[in-house]
């Protein structure tokens, strides 16, 4: 049996080797080629990253990956993992997510079996013509945001949050429509932002992005006992770690390229500078956790 994995990104994207091909290799090996995975890239099985979860739930694809942030209303508690400082900086995001999954997050994934849950590299400031060292440097700057919490973070820092599709960021930065974005370093290569950005600020607590890979529940229930066992073994923390490590690697590589380019200013904040950002955004984190009644979820993520 061949399982269809729908992806909205091109085949060279980080997801392919770390999740799609890995799943295919592990399942093929464990079932002697009885169960395989085939990737459909670039939105071949349907356009729009916001529809990824529905696509699996309705069975247009057996599996898919996506960002809870695109449909944040569905993932109220999962989104806590994206908040600045919600998970300690040195703690892997996938560990935090899986720790909270059974008790707190599973109801946000109806009709599917999550195969992997992970988070990205930390968000940074990716700017053009503006250098950020303190929250005051952001006053009045137009910053592209993806969702509610990011918008609140930008506002708390004194910036003007601007909503726009990811595909338009490049052009908007080039013309000065926005001064920058708050997102992970991997977008430097994924969305070609390295061509238009010239100042990066690392180390501010700006949160990170969360991701999921899910399998249609009916597809899973229809598998043989051996196939299910193979799938259980190939998914979960191991697959999530593979994805998270790959994301971090992509980000590290993108940052290395950015540092090598003398046209770029790369700023590493000191601990004191970090603290001023942390203080500015702390209210946002508390307000969000309260709004989703997520104190226990956050504690579970932190392993408390």
Binding site for another protein (CB under 8 A): 4, 10-12, 40-48, 50-51, 53-55, 57-61, 69-74, 76, 110, 140, 142, 146-148, 151, 160-165, 167-168, 170-172, 174-177, 189-192, 195-196
Nearest to 206 by CA among 304, 297, 137, 274: 274
Q: At its nearest, how many Å lie between another protein and the CB of residue 31?
A: 22
CB of 86 to another protein, least distance (A): 18
What are residue 163's phi and psi, to 5 degrees?
-95, 135
Closer residue to another protein, CB minimum distance, 108 or 238: 108
Minimum Å gap between C-beta 189 and another protein is 7
Instruction: Quote the DSSP letter at residue 104.
Output: I
61: buried, middle or exposed (CB in 10 Å: 19+, 13-18, 0-12)?
A: buried
Q: Minimum distance between the CB of residue 270 and another protein, rounded to whole angstroms?
A: 29
Is 48 or 88 the residue whose CB approaches another protein more closely? 48
Nearest to 142 by CA among 166, 172, 171, 170: 172
Query: Would you say 115 or 146 has its CB closer to another protein?
Result: 146
Closest CB 163 distance from another protein, rounded Å: 4
Q: Which CB atom, from 74 or from 264, has the smaller least distance to another protein?
A: 74
Geometric angle at alpha carbon 77, from 74 and 80, rounded to 5°: 120
> DSSP alpha helices (H): ranges in 16-161?
22-31, 52-58, 93-100, 148-156
| Closer residue to another protein (CB): 128 or 208 | 128
Give the nearer residue to another protein in terms of CB position, either 263 or 272. Answer: 263
Give the shortest CB-30-to-another protein separation in angstroms.
25
For another protein, which is the closer residue by CB, 127 or 239? 127
Closest Cα to residue 144, out of 105, 101, 178? Answer: 178
CA distance 155 to 294: 22
CB 128 within 8 A of CB 193: no
Which 3 state secondary structure label does DSSP give 264? coil
Nearest distance from residue 110's CB to another protein, in Å?
Answer: 7
């Amino acid at each position: 049996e061949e399982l269809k994995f729908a992806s909205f990104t091109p085949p060279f994207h980080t997801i392919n080797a770390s999740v799609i091909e890995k799943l295919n290799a592990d399942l093929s090996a464990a079932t002697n080629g009885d169960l395989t995975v085939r990737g459909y890239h670039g939105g071949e099985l349907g356009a729009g990253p916001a529809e990824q979860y529905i696509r699996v739930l309705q069975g247009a694809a057996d599996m898919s990956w996506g960002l809870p942030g695109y449909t944040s209303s569905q993932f109220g508690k999962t989104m806590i993992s994206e908040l600045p400082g919600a998970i300690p900086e040195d703690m892997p995001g996938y560990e935090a997510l899986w720790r909270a999954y059974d008790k707190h997050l599973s109801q946000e994934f109806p009709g599917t079996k999550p195969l992997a849950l992970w988070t990205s590299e930390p968000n940074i400031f990716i700017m053009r013509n503006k250098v950020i060292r303190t929250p005051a440097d952001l006053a009045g700057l137009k910053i592209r945001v993806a969702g509610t919490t990011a918008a609140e973070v930008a506002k708390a820092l004194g910036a003007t949050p601007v909503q726009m599709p990811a595909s338009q960021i490049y052009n908007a930065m080039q013309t000065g429509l926005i001064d920058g974005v708050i997102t992970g370093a991997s977008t430097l290569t994924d969305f070609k932002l390295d061509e238009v950005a010239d100042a990066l600020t690392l180390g501010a607590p700006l949160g990170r992005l969360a991701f999921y890979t899910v399998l249609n529940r009916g597809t899973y229930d229809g598998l043989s006992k051996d196939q299910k066992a193979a799938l259980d073994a190939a998914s979960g923390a191991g697959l999530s770690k593979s994805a998270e490590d790959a994301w971090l690697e992509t980000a590290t590589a993108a940052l290395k390229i950015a540092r090598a380019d003398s046209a770029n200013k790369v700023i590493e904040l000191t601990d004191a500078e970090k603290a001023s950002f942390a203080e500015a955004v702390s209210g946002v984190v508390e307000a969000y956790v309260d709004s989703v009644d997520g104190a226990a979820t956050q504690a579970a993520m932190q392993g408390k």
